[in-house]
Amino acid sequence: MEKDAADKVRLDKWLWAARFFKTRSSAAEAVSGGKVHVNKARVKPAHVVRVGENLTVRRGPYEQEVVVRGLSRQRGPASQAVLLYEETIASVQKRGALADQLRLQALTTPHPARRPNKKDRRHIIRFTQPGD
């Protein structure tokens, strides 16, 4: 009977144990908010995860497609958490391309050399206020 209990793990608990999210509540919030899909379908946080299922996890601008390789109810070290899933090759390539794109985009936006002083702030306010 213990084996049956070990085979049934909630999605939010598995995401927390696999270190996709820092807390179980944030994992449940992401699942409820549609940031996590199982086999391309939206599910609830209490969905029972099974080995072999495909998960799509969106965190920020990045999206990971992973295949569940193991189940765990407890959060362990990162070296153990990596063994619970396998990321698809297409997902790794997509995330790498997006990271390069974001890095290049950050280089094109200029950053000011210093914080604006009181005179600069007045100029900014005059420039941004409509109709004065």
Domain assignments of the chain as residue spans, ordered by start:
2-128
Average pLDDT value over all residues in the chain: 91
The sign of the CA dihedral 17, 81, 77, 63 is negative
Q: How confident is the model at residue 7 (pLDDT cuts 50, 70, 90)?
A: confident
Entry pTM? 0.78
Has residue 64 got a pLDDT over 90?
A: yes
Greater model confidence, 28 or 3 = 28
Residues 70-116: tens digit of each pLDDT: 999 999 999 999 999 999 999 999 999 999 999 999 888 888 889 99
pLDDT at 4 over 60: no
Contact assessment for residue 53 and residue 11, using Cβ atoms and an 8 Å cutoff: no
**pLDDT for position 131:** 67
**Residue 15 CB: number of other CB atoms within 10 A?**
25
Question: What class is the 2-128 domain?
Answer: alpha beta
Q: CA torsion sign, 72 to 73 to 76 to 81?
A: positive
